[in-house]
Amino acid sequence: MRKFNPWMSKFLAGLLLLALPAGILAQATTETSPAPVDPTAVLKAIPENATAFLVVRNLAEMDANVVGLAQSLGISLGPMGMFPGPLMMAKSYLGISDGLVDNGSMAFVLLSCANVKSMNDVPQQLVIFVPCHNVDALTAMMSPQRDGEVLKLTVAGESFIGGVKEGFLILARQPESLKAVLAARDEGVIKSMSPDRIQAYSEQDLFGWANPDAISPAIIAEISDTLKGLMAMANPARGMQDADTSIEQMTKVFKESREMAAGLKLNQRVGLLLSFYMNMKPDTDLGKQMASMRMPQVPLLVGLPNEPVVFAVGSSAGDEAETSRQVKIMLDQLLREDQLGDELDTEKVKQLKEALVVLLSTVKQMSVAVTALPPEGNQGLIGVVFAGKVEDSGAWRNEFRRLIHLGKDLVVQAAKKQENISTDEVKAITEAIQIRENADQSEDAVIDEVVFDLTKIPDLDEQTLQEIQDVLGPECGMARIGTVGKDYVLLTYGGGKTRFEQVADNLRKGQAPLAQNAMILKVADRLPKDNKNAVGYLSVDQILALITNISNKVGQELPFPLNMPNAAPLAFSQTKVGEMAVQADVLIPAELIQSASQMIQPIIGMMMMGGLGGGPGMGNEIEDMEPAGQP
């Protein structure tokens, strides 16, 4: 393993306190530098051909944002708290008493690595831009020694050289790196950035950007070889072969990307918003794939009922041919012949993969949800919905029937080759798996029933069967899949036929009731509003409520309550921000962070007091939880 340079570990330990994205903060009243600062000034000072940079856009603003979040969690930081904020801590660590522009931008910059031959030389390309209004005051405690325009400095016990450019103290380890920055007379890296990234930079607290073209082939090859070695050690039998495919995909992304970026926005009322961005080159495979991405024709969550959401996602698909190619690559990795063994017919496995490719690549738009059904409904605690917009629902349904029959054949075939499974047991498995074609109809919906009859399973006792039915409902072994008109296919599990009909009606009307769920409305407007082609939500509080309800149904008491009041779901979106550019955003809402903190604190207290043993009454007080976010 390559040893990390000691100067870097020491120095960054101090300076990165200024850039803590989710650190514990304070300082609502930091000493502010004399004048407002142009936030793009650092982008104009960084050389245009830089490989990458990480910028704290405004030190004081970042500090204040983290302060608010920390204080909302009851963490005592800041001037009146037990500990100072990160900006003050960094100043103290680095010996800075004056001269720093508190509302300026600080950057860690990797200069061009287009000609770097080894990873060992990459750290020498790192320079740091520190905003200053008085370099003498800033460096007073850094044992400064002048050598013409160059300063020799000692920072955190390590030697650096420094120079001043456009209001920034530039710190470097190598004279060549410092000279490259000071001599640059171009318009800055801002010229290399897409307009949408410049706008994104202005909205985020922490922003990183990279130009893959400024990474030498030698560096990419060295990284590839290192990853291959790690994969081979993890899986000696297949590691190198698997690595070749993965590395090929990674290298392809680097070669075909024009720019990459990531950002973090921090706010005590919003939470943490992480953004990831890729802009592909034209006339490349990935560029064409990005250009072919479809925008949704109907609401992304179309059809999904307004139920307490555990997980939900809605997405429009890309070009069918490209999707088919990507699905085939994935399935070839998952269903390799050398790992299937002798139990399975390779021809049937091939047919199974072909059916999956057709099913997954011909869906133009899909919406999926796992929801918590009310315990009092006696229709199970878990509901699942898959709705797909397709060109020909009848053809898609026929391919799905083929998939079920192939899957059943493979399961029965594998069972027959197991020495510990008798002929009668194989017969029971064969009878248990059924697909009842055209079993029901509702308006224009023709419904198949896919059944796994649990009563046919050998050695499944009545008590276990009853517990399964208590959790999953009386139809626990059955899912409904049907066509809804010509354009939609629908699969539901849980809630019976009534729920299928409800979702089918939503599809006919092009409605998305789940989008109006109170919990989703809490966070939806914190994500980008325009040009979204995918959204997703994950409710941790509903997962915990579901665990509690399941435990109660089967009579297994929990040693402590899993309750997160006032939480909000994790949220995700994908946005097309250019012809060949896409941005993905992940929101960790403030309500979830605060609610998790409130839930964990008493549990930690109970653990410290030895209270997780389930004493008298423990768990008996936990009743069926009313799922949060009820319509």
pLDDT, tens digit (0-9, with 9 covering 90-100), for 157-182? 889 999 999 999 999 999 999 999 99
Choice between 381 and 110, residue whose per-residue pLDDT is larger: 110
Going by DSSP bridges, is the β-strand pair 126-131/309-316 parallel, antiparallel, or unpaired? unpaired
Residue type, 452: F
**What's the pLDDT score for residue 492?**
96
Please determine, for residue 619, whether its predicted confidence score (pLDDT) is greater than 50. no
Instruction: Return the higher-pLDDT residue of 78 and 532.
Output: 532
Q: Is the pLDDT of residue 481 over 60?
A: yes
Q: Which residue would you say has higher pLDDT here, 76 or 212? A: 212
Q: Are 169 and 132 in contact (CB under 8 A)?
A: yes
| pLDDT band at residue 432 under the 50/70/90 scheme | confident
Answer yes or no: is pLDDT of 23 > 70. Answer: no
Beta carbons of 567 and 592 less than 8 angstroms apart: yes
R_g (Cα) of the chain, nearest Å: 29
438's tokens: 């055209």
Q: What is the pLDDT of residue 455?
A: 82
One-letter amino acid for residue 602 of the chain:
P
What is residue 458's predicted lDDT score, i.e. its pLDDT?
72
For 450, other C-beta atoms within 10 Å of its C-beta total 21
Confidence of residue 341 (pLDDT cuts 50, 70, 90): low
Cβ pair 42, 105 in contact under 8 A: yes
Mean per-residue pLDDT, 504-515: 96
**Does the pLDDT at position 447 exceed 70?**
yes
Q: Which has the higher per-residue pLDDT, 202 or 470?
A: 202
* CB-CB neighbours of 269 under 10 Å: 11
pLDDT band at 289; cut points 50, 70, 90:
confident
Note the pLDDT tens digit of each residue in 343-395.
677 888 889 999 999 999 999 999 999 999 887 777 788 999 999 999 999 99
pLDDT band at 239 (very low <50, low <70, confident <90, very high): low
Q: Nearest 5 degrees, angle CA 429-CA 431-CA 436? A: 125
Q: Residue 625 carries which DSSP code?
A: P
Least trusted range by pLDDT, from 14-28, 193-207, 311-325, 613-627: 14-28
CB-neighbour burial class of residue 115 (10 A; exposed 0-12, middle 13-18, buried 19+)? exposed
Taking phi over 0 as left and psi of -120 to 50 as alpha, with beta for the rest, 332 belongs to alpha
At residue 4 the predicted structure's pLDDT band, cuts being 50, 70 and 90, is: very low
Q: How far is residue 47's CA from residue 189's CA, in Å, rounded to a whole number? A: 5
DSSP 458-489: TT--HHHHHHHHHHH-TTTTEEEEEEETTTEE
Task: Report the percentage of the chain scoring pLDDT > 90.
Answer: 50
Q: What is the pLDDT of residue 607?
A: 64
User: Which DSSP helix (H) or strand (E) runs through 108?
Assistant: strand 106-110
Q: Which residue did the predictor score with more confidence, 473 or 160?
A: 160
pLDDT tens, 555-610? 887 777 788 888 999 999 999 998 899 999 999 999 999 888 888 776 666 666 65
Angle among Cα 309, 311, 317 to the nearest 5 degrees reads 125
pLDDT beyond 70 at 78? no
According to DSSP, the β-strands at 206-210 and 488-493 are unpaired
Residues of the chain with pLDDT > 70: what percent?
Answer: 86
